[in-house]
Structure 1
Amino acid sequence: MGTRQASADDLASVGFSALRCALATNIVWIGVLKFKQYEVENDEPLVTSSPLFSRLRAKLGAQRLNRLIGVTEIALGSLIAAKPLAPRASAIGSFGAIGMFLTTLSFLATTPEARQEGQGPLSLSQLGQFLLKDTVLISAALLTAAESLRAARPADCPRTL
């Protein structure tokens, strides 16, 4: 293997590790914040506009719903971080994060405050721009899922493309 290839492989390895660490940290940190009252208030426009979450909010109340979301986020972030010890569990965490981010992106369609009033449907407000970053996080979760699945594969299993 040439020096350039080794350097590219090393860089990719460092990049995957940094991506996994950043993704897990972001998800856990945001999950912890769900236990703060200001975060309950910040999430109100999102959950009250969502067909799914508005029903959950009506049943659980705003604070309990946020805590449930927080516990879910902490669990998913922890699973993603667990790749060295439990690669299959880490893949499950990554797939769960993909579902979570897809759900969050649905708020772009259901939350009127996500768009800048009077500027057309593609003009996102600050809230809409915040939600849009989840497209990048979905991509990160897809990569961490793939890397975890590779690590979970038995050594004698042939690699296919």
Structure 2
Amino acid sequence: MKTLVQVLASSQSLFFNIARISILIVMVWIGGLKAFQYEADGIVPFVANSPLMSFFYGKETPEYKEYKNPEGKTIQKNIDWHQQNRTYTFAYGLGVVIVIIGVLTFLGIWFPKTGLLGGLLTFVMSLVTLSFLITTPEVYVPNLGGDFPTPQYGFPYLSGAGRLVLKDVIMMATGLICASDCAKRILRASMHEN
């Protein structure tokens, strides 16, 4: 057991790099998916209800509810609405930003100043995403009726979308951990220069 503890204790810098690689994988994958119609459609409730992001869209909330495409299915009138709403244009831009943040964080393995920026941007992006727990009605189970004596809808009952958003707590913490490691390396390098 003592050997395992020693290995874990001496592997901290390796684990920081694994965290950076993890952020890269998530950001490139999720950011890359923003180029596809189903993913762009899927983020509409979050963006449309967000006071920080809704101005990117051309249509008012909650009109989007009438034009939801189920995942894997495309309905032309819905796609036309999303094009007018600037859904796809926004998703492409957001995807590029997400991929860039992931790459910046990953580059912290070799370039601490770049990694510091990436880690801080990961934190900020995650904070914005977590704000959807306050602004987006779809993150909680809706009241669809039923016979169960105690209704299980609304807060704290997270829907699939809500569970997805809540996971950003981990991304937020990991971004700060990566930023902190880069800051420590920057300070160490500046002490060696003086």
Distance 1:112 1:7, change over 3 A: same
Higher helix share: 1
Distance 1:84 1:136, change over 3 A: closer
Shift of 1:14: 2.5
The answer for the alignment partner of 2:156 in structure 1 is 122
User: Structure 1 runs of 4+ off > 3 angstroms?
Assistant: 3-6
- Aligned partner (choices 144, 168, 188) of residue 134 of structure 1: 168
| Percent identical | 30
Distance 1:68 1:7, change over 3 A: same
Whose Rg is larger? 2
- Aligned partner (choices 88, 95, 117) of residue 120 of structure 2: 95
Aligned length: 157
Could you tell me which amino acid in structure 2 is paired with residue 63 of structure 1?
Y
Matched, 1:49 2:49: yes
The answer for the alignment partner of 2:93 in structure 1 is 68
- SS of the residue corresponding to residue 110 of structure 2 reads coil
In 1, the alpha carbon distance for the partners of 2:19 and 2:115 equals 13
**Structure 2, unpaired ranges of 5+:** 60-84, 144-152
Distance 1:32 1:4, change over 3 A: closer
**Structure 1, unpaired ranges of 5+:** none
Q: Which moved more, 1:146-155 or 1:18-27?
A: 146-155
Matched, 1:8 2:42: no
